[in-house]
Amino acid sequence: MGAGDVIGAGSLSGFHARSIADREGFWGELAALIDWQAPFERVLDYSRPPFTRWFVGGRTNLCHNAVDRHLAARRDQPALIYVSTETDDERVYSFGELHREVMRMAAIMRELGVRRGDRVLIYMPMIPEATFAMLACARIGAIHSVVFGGFASHSLASRIDDASPVLVVSADAGSRAGKVVPYKPLLDAAIDLARNRPANVLMVDRGLVPFERVAARDRDYAQLRERHLDAEVPVEWLESNEISYTLYTSGTTGVPKGVQRDVGGYAVALAASMKYIFCGNAGETYFSTSDIGWVVGHSYIVYGPLIAGMGTIMYEGTPLRPDAGILWKLVEKYRVTVMFSAPTAIRVLKKQDPSWLTRYDLSSLRTLFLAGEPLDEPTARWIGEALGKPIVDNYWQTETGWPILTVAHGVEKTPTRLGSPGMPMYGYDVRLLHEQTGEEVGTNEKGVVAIMPPLPPGCMQTVWGDDERFVKTYFSTIPGRLAYSTFDWGIRDEDGYYFILGRTDDVINVAGHRLGTREIEESLSSHPAVAECAVVGVADALKGQVAMAFVVLKDPSRAAADDARMALEGELMATVDKQLGAVARPSRVHFVTLLPKTRSGKVLRRSIQAICEARDPGDLTTIEDPGALEQLRRAVGLQA
Ligand code: AMP
C-alpha cells in the first residue's frame, strides 16, 4: 500500500483515530513519503517515557530529501526563490544550483573543521547563504542552530554558550524597512561575552556596511567558496534519531531552551503535513513570509516545501515596501499556490488601501495559512473576503515543529470556523485538562491544552543538553498525569473545534513571536537605576500583544520631572534593544514606587496585565499593599 492510501483517509476523524490507535502502522506507512538509505527496524520506541524515538535504525538525511532526491525529476526547476525588496535582489536557484551551492558551503564547513554532531550557529539575515548553511549542516550531519537576526548580543551570547558551536555563520548586516541593521558588532560583542567561543566565524559580506575582521577567526565566505566551486560532498546518512537542529525558544526563566529535533521523524512529519495539511504539490511554489530564525522558517521556508519538491520563496522585506501590494505581486509572479503568513502581517495590510489585494492575478493561490498567534475573527473575515480564498488558521509551537490544531484538507474538506484554528491533527492526542485536578474538562469548559505522549514525529526530542529540564518543563505541570503541556488555555465546542484563549505562563506573543517576560525583566534590571521591575504582555490591536514594563527605581526622584522620566524610559528601552534586540523592546516603561505583590513576595503579573487591559484584576485577597494597584492604574492612565 502506498503512503497515499493510508487507511482512514477521507475522514479526518477516522484518520486521526487511527493515528492514535495504531501509531506504528500509521506512521510506518507515512514514512514512505521520504527516502531512506536504510530501512528502520522499529517505527516507535517509547520504552523511556516521555522520550520518544521514531523510525529507529532507519538511515536518512534531510538535505538529501530536500535537494538531491529531486535532481532526477526537477534539476532545472526553481527550488529557492530569493527576493529582497531591501537590496532589490531577486535570484532563482534551481534544484541543481541549490545542490551545488549547498555542496560548496558543506565543503567550506568541512575545511573549517565542522564534523558530524558539531554545532554550527547561524546568525543571518534572510539571504540565500542562510539556507545553504542550514542545508549544508544537514548534509554533513552537523547540528544547526539558527538565531533570529533581530536578537542582540546578550540573547546571542546565551545561545552561543548553550550550543558551544565550532563555527558561527553570519553576515555584515541585515536590512529592515530600508534601514541597514549591522550584525557583526552584535556578533563580536556576543562572542566576547560568551564562555564557549567558536573557533571560526564565516562571514558573508553583502557589502551593506564595513566591518572589522578578527584575525585567525573570521573567514570570508566568497573567498572560500571560490576554492570549492566544484566540491562534491556526499550526504552523511544519519540514524533517524540523530540531531538535526536546535532552535532556542523563550520560556518562563531567563535561560532560553534549545528545542532539539531529530532527522527522520521531522522529515516524515513535514512531508506528511505538506500533503495532508498544506496540500502543496511538487513543481509548485510555496511562499512563507516568516523568517529562518523562527520555527515556521525552518519547517515551511526551508525543509517542508523543498522536501515536497516545491519551489520556496525566501523574502527579505516587509509587507509594505515598496508598496502594500508586494506580497501579492510575488504570488502573481511566481504562481504561488500555498501561502503562509501571520495574523500580524495581515493586520498591517488591513490598514492599507484594500485595492492592493485585487491588483494582481492571484488565480494560482489556493489557500492562505496563518499561524503564530490568535487569528481574530475580523482579520480572518477581512482577508478571506478580500482575497476570495480559503483562510486556514493553524496552531502549533516551536516545540512541535508542525501544526497541532488545524484542518487537513488533504484528508477531508472539513469546514473552518472563524476564531478556531481547528481540530487535533493526526498523531496528536490532544486533551483539555483541568489545571488543578488533571481531569479532562467538558465541552465549552476551559482547560490546559495538553498532548498525551508519545508525541508524534517532528516534535522536539528533548531540551538540548538537559533531559531533566525537558521532563520538568513540559511533562510535570499537570497533576497526576504524564502529559505534555502547551501552556495555552483552550476550549472545545460541541463539534470538536478548539479555541485558544491565551498562555498559562509568563510568556507573551508579540507579532507571532514568543518572548519570555523574564528575559526582558532581567535586561531592564541590569540598568543601574532599576531596583525591580515587572513585564507583562498587553493586548494590542496590531501586534496581538506588546510588552509593557513597570519599573521601580532605586531613586524614585530620577523620574520626577517629565523630561528626566522620558530620557530614562528611552535609556531602558535602549538597554533592551542592545541586549536582547528590538523585538523584545517594551512598548512603554512606566515608573512606579512599588509593584503589586502577594504577601509571600510574588509579583501579581496577571493583575497587572488585567489592569493594563482595563479588566477586573480578579481575586486580590493575597495582595500586600493595594496602593500598588492604584499606582498602576494611574501609570497606565486609568482612574484609580
Ligand atoms: P512559538 O513557539 O514562538 O511559535 O509560539 C507558540 C505559541 O504561539 C503557542 O503556544 C500559542 O500561545 C501561540 N500560537 C501559535 N499559533 C497560534 C494560533 N493559531 N492561535 C492562537 N495562538 C497561537
CB–CB of 503/606 below 8 Å?
no
Q: What is the pLDDT of residues 127-169, one digit of tens each?
A: 999 999 999 999 999 999 999 999 999 999 999 999 999 999 9
By CB atoms closer than 10 A (0-12, 13-18, 19+), residue 270 is buried
Per-residue pLDDT tens over the stretch 192-235: 999 999 999 999 999 999 999 999 999 999 999 999 999 999 99
- Chain-centre distance for alpha carbon 141: 22
**For a substitution probing ligand 1, which of 294, 398, 500 has the most ligand atoms within 8 Å of its CB?**
500
- Asked if the model's pLDDT at residue 396 lies above 70, the reply is yes
pLDDT, one tens digit per residue, over 18-61 is 999 999 999 999 999 999 999 999 999 999 999 999 999 999 99
Our answer on whether the CB atom of 291 is closer than 6 Å to any ligand 1 atom is no
Confidence check: pLDDT of 638 > 80: no
Facing residues of 460 across strands?
none
Q: Do residues 503 and 517 make contact, with C-beta atoms less than 8 angstroms apart?
A: no
Ligand 1 centroid, distance to 372 Cα (angstroms): 4
Distance in Å, CA 247 to ligand 1 centroid? 16
Task: Please count the CA atoms within 13 angstroms of the CA of 320 that sit on its side-chain side.
Answer: 13
Ligand 1 pocket, 298 CB below 6 A?
Answer: no
Decide: 374 in ligand 1 pocket, CB within 6 A. Answer: yes
Residue of 340, 395, 460 best suited for mutating to test ligand 1, as the one with most atoms within 8 Å of CB: 395
- The band of 1, judged by pLDDT with boundaries at 50, 70 and 90, is very low
Q: Are 263 and 475 in contact (CB under 8 A)?
A: no
SS3 516: strand
Assigned C-alpha cell, 93: 536557484
Q: Given this model, what pLDDT does residue 6 score?
A: 52
Is 295 a pocket residue for ligand 1 (Cβ < 6 Å)? yes
pLDDT given for residue 512 in this prediction: 84
Dihedral sign of CA atoms 447, 448, 451, 457 in order = positive
Taking a C-beta distance cutoff of 8 angstroms, is the pair 55, 454 a contact? no
Q: What is the pLDDT of residue 268?
A: 98
Cα(329) to ligand 1 centroid in Å equals 28
Residue 548 has φ and ψ, to the nearest 5°, of -120, 130
Distance between CA atoms of residues 113 and 115, nearest Å: 6
Q: Are 524 and 576 in contact (CB under 8 A)?
A: yes
Is any ligand 1 atom within 6 A of the Cβ of residue 458? no
For ligand 1, the distance from its centroid to the CA atom of residue 502, given in whole angstroms, is 9
In the predicted structure, residue 330 carries a pLDDT above the cut 50: yes
Residues 596-621, mean pLDDT to the nearest whole number = 86
373: Cβ below 6 Å to ligand 1?
A: yes
Averaged pLDDT of the chain: 95
Whole-angstrom CA distances from 145 to 184, 295, 347 are: 17, 11, 30
Ligand 1 site, residue 421, Cβ cutoff 6 A: yes
Atom number, ligand 1, closest to the C-alpha of residue 487: 10
Query: Confidence class of residue 9 from pLDDT cuts 50, 70 and 90?
Result: low
432-441 pLDDT, tens digit per residue, is 999 999 999 9
Among the atoms of ligand 1, which is closest to the Cα of residue 393? 19
- Collapsing DSSP states into helix, strand and coil, what is residue 501? strand
395 lines ligand 1 (CB under 6 A): yes
Per-residue model confidence (pLDDT) at position 173: 98
Give distance in angstroms: CA of 457 to centre of ligand 1. 19
Q: Among 313, 275, 283, 310, which residue's Cα sits nearest to residue 297?
A: 313
Query: Where on the phi/psi map is residue 115: left (φ > 0), alpha (ψ -120 to 50), or beta?
Result: beta
* pLDDT(621) > 90: no
Sign for the pseudo-dihedral over CA of 117, 121, 124, 129: negative
Q: Is the pLDDT reported for residue 342 higher than 80?
A: yes
Name, in order, each residue with C-beta under 8 angstroms of 411's C-beta and a sequence gap of 6 or more. Answer: 9, 10, 11, 12, 15, 276, 426
Q: What's the rounded Cα separation, in Å, for the pair 206 and 173?
A: 7
Residue 191, pLDDT score = 98
pLDDT at 8 over 60: no
DSSP letters for 585-598? --SEEEEES---BB
Minimal-distance CA residue to ligand 1 atom 3: 514
pLDDT at 349: 94
Q: Which atom of ligand 1 is nearest to the CA of 405?
A: 19
Q: Is the CB of 54 under 6 A from ligand 1?
A: no
- SS3 per residue for 614-635: CCCCCCCCCECCCHHHHHHHHH
**How many residues are there in the chain?**
640
**Straight-line distance from the first to the last Cα atom of the chain, in angstroms, rounded to the nearest whole number:** 69
CA distances from 584 to 435, 522, 636 (A): 29, 12, 20
CA nearest neighbour of 150 among 577, 527, 508: 577
Residue 270 CB less than 6 A away from ligand 1: no
Ligand 1: centre distance to CA 341 (Å)? 13
Q: How far is the CA of 513 from the centre of ligand 1 (A)?
A: 8
Ligand 1 pocket, 509 CB below 6 A?
yes
pLDDT in tens, 475-489: 999 999 999 999 999
Question: From the CA of 455, how far away is ligand 1's center (Å)?
Answer: 17
Pairing status of strand 336-341 against strand 367-371: parallel
Look at residues 45, 20, 18 and name the one whose alpha carbon lies nearest to residue 428.
20
Cα 270 to ligand 1 centre (Å): 18
393 lines ligand 1 (CB under 6 A): yes
pLDDT score of 603: 87
The rounded Å distance from CA 371 to ligand 1 centre is: 7
Which ligand 1 atom is nearest residue 394's CA? 19
**Computed from CA positions of residues 327, 328, 334, 339, in that sequence, does the dihedral angle turn out positive or negative?**
positive
The Cα–Cα gap between 296 and 126 comes to 13
Residue nearest ligand 1's atom 4 by CA:
397
Grid cell in block for residue 338: 500555498
* Cα 250 to averaged position of ligand 1 atoms, centre (Å): 12
**Measured from the CA of 399, which atom of ligand 1 is nearest?**
2
- Spacing of C-alpha 224 from chain mean position: 31
Residue 360 has a pLDDT of: 97
What's the order of all strands across the beta sheet hosting 430-433? 430-433, 447-451, 484-492, 498-503
- Cβ atoms of 240 and 56 within 8 Å: the answer is yes
Tell whether ligand 1 has an atom less than 6 A from the beta carbon of residue 300: no
User: Which residues of 434-587 form beta strands (DSSP E)?
Assistant: 447-451, 462-463, 484-492, 498-503, 507-510, 513-516, 530-540, 544-553
